[in-house]
Chain A
Amino acid sequence: MHRVRVRVVEDALDANNTIAQANRADFDRAGVTVVNLMSAPGAGKTTLLERVLGPGLGSVRAGVLEGDVAGSLDADRLAHLHIPVVQLNTDAGFGGECHLDANMVRSALPALDLDALDLLIVENVGNLVCPAEFRIGEDARIMVSSVAEGADKPLKYPLMFRACELVVINKIDLAPYVDFDMERFLHYVDQVHPGVRTLPVSARTGDGVDELRDWLSRLPDRVGATA
């Protein structure tokens, strides 16, 4: 018995990225734009979806893939929108995976009629760390940061704030009550991800929701332009 060194030189996430590309090919074939929605737990992703995909959305055929460690609370909340919603639980993983990866998303695709959708939003598991590592085949990533989390989060979780094409600042109606310093927050965002688009919203009052819809509606053009 002796030891042999085997040269590998492979990104540890290559296996995930390969499946993500397969997902992407399926999405492209069906002509559906896919958005990976990420945030800390409680930042308001589901409430934001209720608003954005609710009355006033227009003719966009939208669907949601809900990622949670366990349960179907979020999917139940979206039931009143009468759009396709598929719940994806990660608790079959090691102690309940804290993020969605490309393979988990792939396993949920048979439950969705992609051809009947223009826009699929994948609500990731609430977590400011792991979801940033795993591409799922999406066109764009949105990260939601709520004002109650404080202005310093971009500096504490730079990986997440860099792994997105849009930073949505939610719960701006609460800003005066939680001493949120918007200027400082925006400065930190610009420091870790120079030039990234930011959008203040309140899922509760509806402020900024039209702007978010507008951003989403322009996504297919932008993706086509950069492909």
Chain B
Amino acid sequence: MHELSIGSAVVDTAVRHAGGRRVRTVHLRVGQLRQVIPDSLTFYFDLVSNETVCEGARLEVELVPAVLRCGPCAREWTIDVPAFRCPTCGGAHVEALAGNELEVESIEVEEDTACIA
């Protein structure tokens, strides 16, 4: 259900960077740990982009796998289930090197040919 909130934030970010130009594509990198359902996000993106420069734009979602790292023993690993203790030493000082992304990587906008000179 947070896909609505995230979809709104994505549209706001894209609109801010579009500078009034019509947006055709939004490329979003979403980390595995964000628990985002791409289809649901696309649905809400289409809904909240109505009557903005993003209306009709395509949302491209790139899923980024989670990579965890244990501070004390330096082990790095990926996860399929939400288990965050280090599988080697059992330690709790684990950081996510990747997997928390919610990044608008780029947008594709329409520009008048005359404007690029």
| Assembled-state Cα–Cα distance A12/B48 (Å) | 14
**Contact of A3 with B84 in the complex, beta carbons under 8 Å:** no
B1-19 interface (Cβ within 8 A of A): 1-2, 4-6, 8-10, 12-14, 16-18
Known: A133-B2, A192-B83. A11 touches B103 (CB 8 A): yes
**CB-nearest residue of chain A relative to B81?**
A155
- Chain A contacts for B106, CB-based, 8 A: 5-9
Contact size class for A?
Answer: 35 or more
Closest to A15 in B: B12
Please determine whether B6 and A194 come into contact, CB atoms closer than 8 angstroms.
no
Does B109 belong to the interface (CB within 8 Å)?
yes
B5 and A158 within 8 A (CB)? no
Q: How far is the CB of A162 from chain B (nearest CB, A)?
A: 8
Cα(A195)–Cα(B82), bound, Å: 15
Contact B111 A12 (CB under 8 A): no
- Majority-rule SS of B interface residues: mixed
Check if A1 sits within 8 Å of B4, measured CB to CB: no
Alpha-carbon separation in the docked complex, A12 to B14 (Å): 9
Cβ–Cβ < 8 Å partners of A15 in chain B? 9, 12-13, 16
**Known A-B contacts A98-B5, A130-B2; A191 and B85 likewise in contact (beta carbons under 8 Å):** yes
Q: For the complex formed, measure the closest distance between the CB of A156 and the CB atoms of chain B, giving whole angstroms.
A: 9
Task: List A contacts of B24 (CB < 8 A).
Answer: 3
Q: With both chains docked as a complex, state the minimum distance between the C-beta of A1 and any C-beta of chain B, in angstroms.
A: 6
Contact yes or no, B103 A9, CB < 8 A: yes
Could you tell me the distance in whole angstroms from the C-beta of A95 to the nearest C-beta in chain B? 8
Q: Which residue, of A4, A97, A191, has the highest number of chain B Cβ atoms within 10 A?
A: A4
Q: Which of A112-148 contact B (CB under 8 A)?
A: 127, 129-130, 132-134
B110 touches A1 (CB 8 A): yes
Chain A contacts for B97, CB-based, 8 A: none
**Distance from A221 Cβ to chain B, minimum over Cβ atoms (Å):** 21
Task: Please tell me if the beta carbons of A6 and B102 are within 8 angstroms of each other in the complex.
Answer: no
Q: How far is the CB of B77 from chain A (nearest CB, A)?
A: 14
User: Does B92 make an interface contact (CB < 8 A)?
Assistant: yes
Partner of A1 from the list B16, B33, B92, B112 (CB cut-off 8 Å) is B112
B85 engages A155 (CB within 8 Å): no
A3 x B9 contact (CB < 8 A): no
Contact A98 B35, beta carbon cutoff 8 Å: no
Which 5 pairs show the lowest CB-CB distances between chains A and B? A194-B92, A195-B92, A158-B82, A12-B9, A130-B2
